[in-house]
Structure 1
Amino acid sequence: MRICTRRITGPSAWVGADFQPSDWVVTLEPAERDELLQALRGLPADRPPAQVTAADFPLPRLAPKLAELVRELEFGRGFAVLRGVPIDLPPAEQYLLYWGIVAHMGTAVTQNARGELISHVTDYGKGDLSDNAVRIYETSAVVPFHTDSSDITGLLCLRDAREGGASVLASSTTIHNRLLEEHRELLGVYYVGFVYDRRTEEESGEAPYYRNPVYGYFGDVLSCRYYIRHYIESAVRKSRIPLTDMERLALDLFEEIAHTERNQVSMELRPGDLQFVNNNVVVHSRTAFRDSPGHRRDLLRIWFNTPHARKMPEGFARFRFGMPLIAENE
């Protein structure tokens, strides 16, 4: 695989000091909120979200703003927050409205072996990652820096936590620049990548782990996929492929740069905030949180790819176009 050996410049190579908090927030105007609700009322009550297209959900006023948001995600800093999304709705209508927005931005993909296109990021009470079937978004624990599988992750905040749950972002382009400057000899490790645990979501007869590169350089465009490190550690027990000292050092350095405060942007998502992150150029994390009785932190997540999606080989981002479905009896 070709390795990028030049410093990347441009809007995706940022540090936290480059921004004011208002720079990444796009606030819906009252007329745009009304337009969303009007589009929602125009849908049949029994319409499944996955069958809703942009044409079914007309947004003549808001659509240009969403198109500009997509361009910022793909060619700019790689993250944004759409503020003021109407959420005081029954759950089925929350799903439809959320899906209608994303239908104007790209194509959603499945997030797990159950085929979910919209999932709840909340504390499911399943325990922690010592249970091999638990995925980290189902816990209240710290979520370390990572990317998701699709190009874009959307998180719509329905309820915030009593305490904690801040979203923290860092530029994977900036991380690559630092690695190039200070640890050039390790770059090849990131382009070969690491073995990840499938967390019991493999198909029958399929290996319960897979390898995925961290960085890829295709058509002079740098892309990143850095999945949860805990899944690398747990994959060792299944694959019996031990991590070398050099691989551990590479993981430590990546996370050390991401955790450097000057490289970060931190934000508290409030109800009605819809955060978008481009996984090709941004890694994201979350602080631990605590809920109140009867008030559980809850975000709706969508994975999608935009019409401007960059070209990359099929094997680079293994589940970029969705997770394979597994039958109930498997």
Structure 2
Amino acid sequence: MTHRPLGKDIAWLPADLEDQDRWIHVLTPAEIADVDQALKAAQKAGRSIETLTRESFPLTVLPETLQRTVDRLENDLGLYVLRGLPVEPYTKDELRLIYWGIGLHMGTAVTQSFKGDVLGDVKDFGQSASTASGRGYMSKEDLGFHTDTSDIVSLFVLRTAKSGGRSLFCSSVAVADEIRRTRPDLFDVLQQPFFWHWKGHEQPGEKPYYQQPVFTIRDGKFSSRWVATHILSAQEFPEVPRLSDVQIEAMKLVNSLASDPRFHTSMMFEPGDFQFLNNHVVYHARTEFEDWDEPDRKRHLLRLWLSVPNTRTLDEGMKAIYRDVNGGAVRGGFPSHTDQLVFETKASEF
């Protein structure tokens, strides 16, 4: 295979994040007031999260920062944090409305499971990611490096844990570039299709697995999708070919590089943080956490999966999961098995 350059994407290392102004923006008093005024306008108009529109959440100051966020996600490091929104003055429902309204000004939320949930609650529901139906974001376990099934993943921090729950992230471009430099044979392997488990998100009549590479490059833009457990789980189907020795070696190398402190960095969330990551160029992980005993103090984040207008065109190899590979398309997420959208996660429903 002829090696194509990783091209237009930035293969950053932890030292490149030392200038925090490049990827962390502390909200100004004017921007905080803008959010508050938009919330009040939505409430005055009688809008709920189900009926909220971009126009009924009228931001006038913050959009410039949101546009910069979207640009940095696609054309710079692939990560950006907005910090400093006071959460104490607001109820949980008001914070959900604020987050949904901000998301409407950035792009389109896509569903996070076949249940139709578009606004996820990241908290310990007592689940385990190692079970067949368990979702990692519903547990307190550590989560290995992975990507989510959307162009952008965003987290809004309401409350932090008693200890732990540190957010880790690395440039998948840097990981891929290192593999291409040191093991070009495995770089080739990772550009070839692997079998993946749908984890119950297949459409009626579809097989419970599909094929997709880990690395792709299209028009000079890189994209990686990495959920090692979904590849390993596909091995439970007898008709799926067994992973070859070189495929296993390639997977181990991706994981070991992402887990190497030379490649990843971390941050401890603060209440009022909004974290945005471009799934195509950034892997993320989380350390295990110990939560508070009191229910109203437990770690609680909200999550959006977003399609935004300036996203890259993807390789055809990514079509199984994204369905539409055209740049700027509303894509990703998991097609809902219901017409009803879900705006709050309840563990009993998953």
TM-score by length of 1: 0.92
Other structure's SS at 1:302 match = strand
- Alignment counterpart, residue 311 of structure 2, candidates 309, 312, 318: 309
Q: Cα distance 1:48–1:225, how it changes in 2: closer, same or farther (>3 A)?
A: farther
- The CA deviation at 1:55 is 2.3
Identity %: 36
Contact 1:156 1:272 in 2 (8 A): yes
1:118 aligns to what?
Answer: 119
The answer to whether the 8 Å contact 1:160/1:271 transfers is yes
Do the aligned residues in 2 keep the contact of 1:135 with 1:199 (CA within 8 Å)?
Answer: no
- Other structure's SS at 2:237 match: helix
Q: 1:19 aligns with which of 17, 20, 23?
A: 17
Please report the TM-score for the alignment, with normalisation by the length of structure 2: 0.87
Task: Give the distance between the partners of 1:33 and 1:19, measured in 2 at CA.
Answer: 25
1:102 is aligned to: 103
Identify if the C-alpha distance between structure 1 residues 4 and 308 changes in structure 2 by more than 3 Å, giving closer, same or farther: farther
Aligned match of 1:161? 161
CA deviation digits over 1:53-101, x for unaligned, max 9?
Answer: 3322222111111111111111010101100124332222211100111
What is the number of residues matched between the two proteins?
Answer: 325
**1:16-53 alpha-carbon deviations (Å, 9 max, x no partner):** 01122633211111221111011011114753435433
State the distance in 2 between where 1:96 and 1:305 align: 19
Contact 1:155 1:301 in 2 (8 A): yes
What is the RMSD computed on CA atoms of the aligned residues?
2.1
Structure 2 residue aligned with 1:322: 333
Aligned to 1:217: 217
Contact 2:196/2:210, CA 8 A, preserved across alignment: yes
The Cα offsets for residues 248-304 of structure 1, whole Å up to 9 and x where unpaired, read as 100011111111212112100111101000011111111111111013211100000
Q: For residues 1-330 of structure 1, what are the structure 2 equivalents within 5 Å?
A: 4-6=3-5, 8=7, 12-20=10-18, 22-23=20-21, 24-44=23-43, 47-49=47-49, 51-88=51-88, 89-126=90-127, 128-227=128-227, 229-238=228-237, 240-241=239-240, 242-294=242-294, 295-313=297-315, 315-316=317-318, 318-319=321-322, 320-327=331-338
Q: Which amino acid aligns with 1:100?
A: G
* CA contact 2:7–2:220 (8 Å) conserved in 1: no
* AA partner of residue 174 (structure 2): T
Change (3 A) 1:21 1:162: farther
Q: What letter matches 1:17 in structure 2? A: A
Task: List per-residue Cα deviations over 1:204-234 (Å, max 9, x = no partner).
Answer: 332222222211111121111112x122222
How many Å separate the matches in 1 of 2:72 and 2:27? Answer: 17
Conserved 8 A contact 1:3-1:216: no
Runs of at least 5 residues in structure 1 that lack an aligned partner in the other structure: none
